Structure 1
Amino acid sequence: MAENAHYPTRRIAVSGYYGFRNSGDEAVLRSILLALEEQGEAQGVRIEPVVLSADPAWTAKMYGVEAAPRMHPASLLRTLRSCDGLISGGGSLLQDATGAKTIPYYTGVIKLAQWLGKPTFIYSQGIGPVNRRWMDPLIAHVMKKSAYISVRDAESAALLARMGVPQDRIEVVPDPVMGLPLPADAAAASGAAAGRAEGGAAGGNAGDGVPVVGVSLRRWRPDGADLDRAADALAALAASRPVRLRFLPFHTPDDAETSRDVMKRLEGRLGAGSAAELAEPGDDPQRMLLEVSRCDILFGMRLHALIYAANRSVPMLGLSYDPKIDQFLARLELQAVGTTEKLDSGVFAAEAVALLDRRAEWQREHAAAIDGLRQQAQQPAQQIAKLLRQLNSR
């Protein structure tokens, strides 16, 4: 960056669900960091991120950035004081489905930055569900005092508006991961990734002509009935034609355990030429994106599995467990094939076969929408870089 030595430098803290090795959230972070670098260069400002992480050492090594503990008050205060602003996002940070502490934590970090006189930027967040109405003022207060607000869907914007946030201040943009590129060594990595899998080897080797069906499942219902239905649906597909079911664990170790559970339920139920296996892409989100790019179609329950598929124009079937799944699919004019409460195995198999048979047609039909989302994914970084460029030097 010697040629950019004249650029002003802005340190920016980045708050989110980072350092937990959840592939979707790590992909959000990678996407934000790459977009900030690109847009900072375009705007003539050098942006130095400081990521608030559950595992600062791992985050610093993974992304080559400075990182600080997200739950250590003194360190958090010191980090925010040393920065020129705070980015909160992306992902589903402001929701209470995962517990009553999530919203107070993330709004508390934003409020602390604001108390210190730092501009705050909301980066492509998914807002809600918010079932505890007493949390609405916490969210509305920090939003109104933020320099820039972007959310990843119209429903999030509408919820903020109902809380009293002026609608004309809210920008609706895609999830940052729509802009995530493949790793630079994608060609070499593709060959290596093809050989790293756990599970059945009855067919499904790269280049054998058997289509690859990516599968991303998570445990949701305590009784496991949703996984039973998913296994039935996959068995129906694998019995109707040869397929290679490649399970993709987006959140380790939980999703890997769930995948093995479903694979066990599939034992003895796959048709001739079909196979099931578990991918091991590691912690790098771009490696998981590469795995998804190698699939012919994808059956996804994790939101970011579906976003990865859209990023790489892979036809998808979504299984809904949360409104955010339906909201994302709607942006591509798609509907979920089923939910965690209802999934018809015959309908699933028929729709999957149809996608496999008309993959190129699906890609043509959705190309414009996908290209639009990819381009719009850069908007938050562009706006934030512009605002940081305008700040007076500390």
Structure 2
Amino acid sequence: MKVIHLISGGDSGGAKTHVLSLLQHLNQTITAQLVCFRDGPFAEEARQMGIPTMICGGNNVFRTRRKLAAYIREGGYEIIHCHGSRANMIGAMLRKVTGLPVVTTVHSDYRLDYMGRPLSHLTFGTINALALRRLDYRIGVSDAMVDLLISRGFPADRFYTIYNGIDFTPPPTQGDRLEYLRSLGADVDENSVVVGIAARMNPVKDMATLVRGFAAGHAKCPRLRLLIAGDGPEKDKLTALAAELGVERQVCFAGWISGGMDRFYSALDINALTSLSETFPYALTEGARFHLATVSTAVGGIPYLIDQDVNGYLFQPGDWQALGNDLAALGNDDELRRRLGEKLYEKASTQFSIQKTVSTQLQIYASILRRHRRRSSARDGVVICGAYGRGNAGDDAILEAILQEMRSIDPDMPITVLSKDPRSTRLTYRVRAVHRSNFLAWHAAMWNSRLYINGGGSLIQDVTSRRSLWFYLANIRAAKRAGNRVQMYGCGIGPVTRESHRSLAAKIINKYVDVITLREPDSLEELRAMGVTEPEVLLTADPALILQKAPDDETDSVLLRAGIPPHGNYLCFALRRWKGFEEKAPLFGAAAEYAYRTYGLTPVFVAVEKHLDPGAGQLAARGLTIPHYFLDDAGGAGTIIGALSRMQAVVSMRLHALIFAAGQGIPLAGVVYDPKVSAFLRYIGQEQFVDLAELTGQNLCAMMDQCVAQAAHPEAQAAAVRNLQAMEQKNVEVARRLLKG
């Protein structure tokens, strides 16, 4: 593989480090040629690192384009990779003339690149913004950068994510700490706790917040000292601020550090960052390499590294009070600093190493070449329609699972999702998404796809809304008429109560559906009762059964943010409002009291649909005299599954809370508001359920007794779930067959 990298040659900071370290390691596997548009320290350092480097100077961009086009053709390059505004402009000009895919790495928010320089922002900033939209693919340095660009209208399925990685080889001993700190001008002794930052003093880094936060922290912890390595236009302002706040002796402005940064980071106790905007700064992984406790603004990709209260502290930009509290807590607790620093090192060294970055970049190149060489076809890909974009974790989990399975068939396949909230769907899943009511958009998508998936859940029902039934049936018909194969994917059927609706559904399904895969036997009986006889019908399982729980650190962070100790003896209630729930709500509270006093289980009320369920939990918990918690926003499916895996038992009205918990082997008790709940529990051989209308304190407590007894013998439920997970694979096997025609 041969890739040509274009860059201005005047870059510094994180972009410079990223490009040079990446190319140095890439050239061990592929040919990665660097082209700089001017000579200087950047190009010289590249040559010293053994990176093949060429200078292509001059201000005539058309001459530069001709020269580079000839060089690319003669060299047999396959991908053009750009870094920065000038490279993006030249890359956009080369795209058509070379016929090669052009990708750019976005190292920073292009709208902030020329902050404080209005003329440059108007000229170079505008050119860069236009060029970015003309390139084929974009790589964001962090998921947050990708999200930012997608939110600005860039196509969601043309993005990749990469993270800055460093070499975590243990550094050598760095010498006497106090001697080094004092040589920089710091007023320190053996008892000092040194907070440090290495950054340019410009508005984006917002070091005024750092100085204010440090002053607040120092008032509570006089051991604290602040060491600032760097220079810039705001130095005088920051020096004056330190004096105004009375900490001029405790704040050391060290200027630029020469001879490498290892000794600087080895001398710190706490690493800090206060930026208003970042992608994924090297400063934090450099600090993690030295096992430093870290406090940072929650911007860019930083929350992907730092799990709040688990391996560091995060605060909102400008919130110097929160920063001061965090610094004081760390300054006063040596063991806390040690523990957070060790946890951060563990995560950073495994997930954010240079080896991981290089591997990710090679995978990106392989994907770009596959997509570039993909045979152009009038019809390609899948349209997926379901109850998506409504904030319901169960429905979103179904979509996540289907997307995983479609990408297992073909990782480069075009996918369009019909969603109630297409912006959120694009950001979360990096797919094309159109609004359910945008008839022209989803109709156009159907005319260009090969397979239409009526995706999971109980879409064919008229209990919650007859209009939704008409919508899904109309879309099935439109998809088939547009030339698609049609699959109803791991779904449930019913209840369909009106006879006219049953007749209409049977007519549409018989005429326009190719294959139906069902998540439980009750739906098979319902289809037969409705008179559906034409499509192929297979019994499978709910797609959400394939989803895995999030890493433990992420789950810990979610629980801690809700004030829940990560490891305790918990009983989960996953409730929802439904007809008759208000009357029964006190029974859940009484059952929670019973479980706490009998088995020592602390109740946690978990919201599966975060916009609707918290009210149900609050109602059930009203008047509780025992400790209890609310988890109103557990994040996505992975962290919800992780949270449920920490429970000793789950009492749920929500189907997908039962599915998630079953996959983790957690004992279950179902409260049935819809037949789909009892259908799933019977399917896994679980008889612990009761209809909401028939719920009593006695039968609810009896189910909890059974759950506690089952906790010692989870083998039967685990075996049933493994069997369902194997059956679920029929869903994707059918989709693969239909796509191949």
Structure 2 residue 607 is matched with structure 1 residue 244? no
Report if the CA contact (8 A) 2:648-2:711 is conserved.
yes
Q: Distance in 2 between matches of 1:332 and 1:136?
A: 28
1:360 and 1:4, CA in 2 relative to 1: closer, same or farther beyond 3 A?
farther
Deviations 1:26-56 (A, max 9, x none): 0111111112112346xxxx43221100110
- How much does 1:246 deviate? 1.2
Equivalent AA in structure 1 for residue 597 of structure 2? A
1:123 and 1:73, CA in 2 relative to 1: closer, same or farther beyond 3 A?
same
The one of 569, 577, 586 equivalent to 1:211 is 569
Q: Distance in 1 between matches of 2:491 and 2:706?
A: 34
The one of 20, 24, 27 equivalent to 2:394 is 24
1:296 and 1:147, CA in 2 relative to 1: closer, same or farther beyond 3 A?
same
The one of 226, 233, 240 equivalent to 2:591 is 233
The one of 33, 38, 51 equivalent to 2:408 is 38
**Over alpha carbons, which structure has the higher Rg?**
2
Q: Distance in 2 between matches of 1:313 and 1:160?
A: 31
1:117 and 1:91, CA in 2 relative to 1: closer, same or farther beyond 3 A?
same
Q: Distance in 2 between matches of 1:344 and 1:211?
A: 24
Equivalent AA in structure 2 for residue 187 of structure 1? D
Structure 2 residue 443 is matched with structure 1 residue 77? yes
Q: Distance in 2 between matches of 1:100 and 1:354?
A: 38
Report if the CA contact (8 A) 2:580-2:692 is conserved.
no
Report if the CA contact (8 A) 1:179-1:378 is conserved.
no
1:284-363 equivalences in 2 (<5 Å): 284-361=636-713, 363=714
Is the partner of 1:131 in helix, strand or coil?
coil
1:168 and 1:17, CA in 2 relative to 1: closer, same or farther beyond 3 A?
closer
Identity of aligned residues (%): 24
Report if the CA contact (8 A) 1:148-1:384 is conserved.
no
Report if the CA contact (8 A) 2:487-2:515 is conserved.
yes
User: What is the number of equivalent residue pairs in this alignment?
Assistant: 370
Across the aligned residues of Structure 1 and Structure 2, the Cα RMSD in angstroms comes to 2.1
Report if the CA contact (8 A) 2:610-2:633 is conserved.
no
Deviations 1:360-389 (A, max 9, x none): 31x11222211011122221122112221x
The one of 189, 192, 195 equivalent to 2:560 is 195
Equivalent AA in structure 1 for residue 400 of structure 2? R
Equivalent AA in structure 1 for residue 514 of structure 2? A
Q: 1:11 is matched with which residue?
A: 381
Q: Distance in 2 between matches of 1:135 and 1:177?
A: 28
Structure 2 residue 445 is matched with structure 1 residue 87? no
Q: Distance in 1 between matches of 2:736 and 2:608?
A: 30
With 340-349 and 316-325 compared, the bigger mean Cα shift is at 340-349
Q: Distance in 2 between matches of 1:223 and 1:58?
A: 31
Report if the CA contact (8 A) 1:161-1:167 is conserved.
no
Structure 2 residue 737 is matched with structure 1 residue 377? no
Is the partner of 2:459 in helix, strand or coil?
coil
Is the partner of 2:484 in helix, strand or coil?
coil
- How much does 1:128 deviate? 0.6
Q: Distance in 2 between matches of 1:162 and 1:7?
A: 45
Q: 2:620 is matched with which residue?
A: 262
Report if the CA contact (8 A) 2:419-2:436 is conserved.
yes
Q: 1:201 is matched with which residue?
A: none
* TM-score, normalised relative to structure 2: 0.48
The one of 121, 140, 146 equivalent to 2:506 is 140
Equivalent AA in structure 2 for residue 239 of structure 1? R
Deviations 1:208-248 (A, max 9, x none): xx411111000112571121222222222223232121111
- How much does 1:302 deviate? 0.5
1:117-156 equivalences in 2 (<5 Å): 117-144=483-510, 145-156=512-523
Q: Distance in 1 between matches of 2:399 and 2:560?
A: 28
- How much does 1:7 deviate? 6.3
Q: Distance in 1 between matches of 2:726 and 2:370?
A: 25
Report if the CA contact (8 A) 1:177-1:311 is conserved.
no
1:223 and 1:287, CA in 2 relative to 1: closer, same or farther beyond 3 A?
closer
The one of 718, 736, 739 equivalent to 1:367 is 718
Q: Distance in 1 between matches of 2:733 and 2:560?
A: 39
Q: Distance in 1 between matches of 2:596 and 2:718?
A: 28
With 21-30 and 161-170 compared, the bigger mean Cα shift is at 161-170
Q: Distance in 2 between matches of 1:223 and 1:372?
A: 34
Q: 1:386 is matched with which residue?
A: 737
Q: Distance in 2 between matches of 1:112 and 1:135?
A: 18
Is the partner of 1:335 in helix, strand or coil?
coil
- How much does 1:94 deviate? 0.5
Deviations 1:242-268 (A, max 9, x none): 212111101122101211222224x22
Report if the CA contact (8 A) 1:213-1:244 is conserved.
yes
Q: Distance in 1 between matches of 2:394 and 2:477?
A: 26
Q: Distance in 2 between matches of 1:7 and 1:171?
A: 32
List alignment gaps of at least 5 residues for structure 2: 1-366
Q: 2:245 is matched with which residue?
A: none
Q: Distance in 2 between matches of 1:206 and 1:75?
A: 45
Is the partner of 1:224 in helix, strand or coil?
helix
With 300-309 and 79-88 compared, the bigger mean Cα shift is at 79-88
Report if the CA contact (8 A) 1:190-1:290 is conserved.
yes
1:39 and 1:360, CA in 2 relative to 1: closer, same or farther beyond 3 A?
farther
The one of 500, 503, 524 equivalent to 1:157 is 524
Q: Distance in 2 between matches of 1:334 and 1:244?
A: 24
Q: 1:114 is matched with which residue?
A: 480
Equivalent AA in structure 2 for residue 367 of structure 1? A
- How much does 1:327 deviate? 0.7
1:375 and 1:281, CA in 2 relative to 1: closer, same or farther beyond 3 A?
farther
Q: Distance in 1 between matches of 2:679 and 2:657?
A: 14
- How much does 1:68 deviate? 0.6
List alignment gaps of at least 5 residues for structure 1: 199-203
Q: Distance in 2 between matches of 1:223 and 1:124?
A: 29
Flag the structure with more relative contact order, 1 or 2, with Cα contacts below 8 A and sequence separation at least 6: 1
Q: Distance in 2 between matches of 1:358 and 1:173?
A: 26
- How much does 1:84 deviate? 2.0
Q: Distance in 2 between matches of 1:179 and 1:40?
A: 18
* TM-score, normalised relative to structure 1: 0.88
